[in-house]
Amino acid sequence: MVSKGDMAPDFEVLDHTGSKFRLSSERGKVVVLYFYPKAMTSGCTREGLRFNELLEEFEKLGARVYGISTDSVEDNRKFAELQGFRFRLLCDVGGSAARAYGVYKEGSGTAERVTFVIDEQGRVVEVLRNIRPAERHADEALRVVRELRGAK
């Protein structure tokens, strides 16, 4: 698995609107990349809603939030619309990004729930895993971004 201090593996996928997204295009910005197992499930919904609630705080600190799963564009589009997410959901159909980050679960074809905070140079500054409940990923990621930015 990608560890703290590693360069974040680059990848290109479609987002929930069908637009291309390439991680390396975000260089110069702090990125919160959170892998989630499955759209429309209770834990993933709570996690996404919490990221949505905290989105302005991330943005004030210059951080971009992206959710990523192995779900299809259509499934993630429905998920984003139903929940009113104001950030992009990335569609890692086939799991190549999840494999590159070491979070792909072969048995289910989904990603583990793991959040990566990536600095402006593309280096992973924190890996958040095994955090319960799921929505705490957003709070912990915000804490890391605040520390990175020297904010309270």
Which residues participate in catalysis according to the annotation? 44
Position 87: which residue type?
A: F
Q: Are strands 63-69 and 30-35 parallel, antiparallel or unpaired?
A: parallel
Residues 6 or more apart from 85 whose CB is under 8 A from it?
48, 51, 52, 67, 79
- The Cα 70–Cα 39 span in angstroms is 9
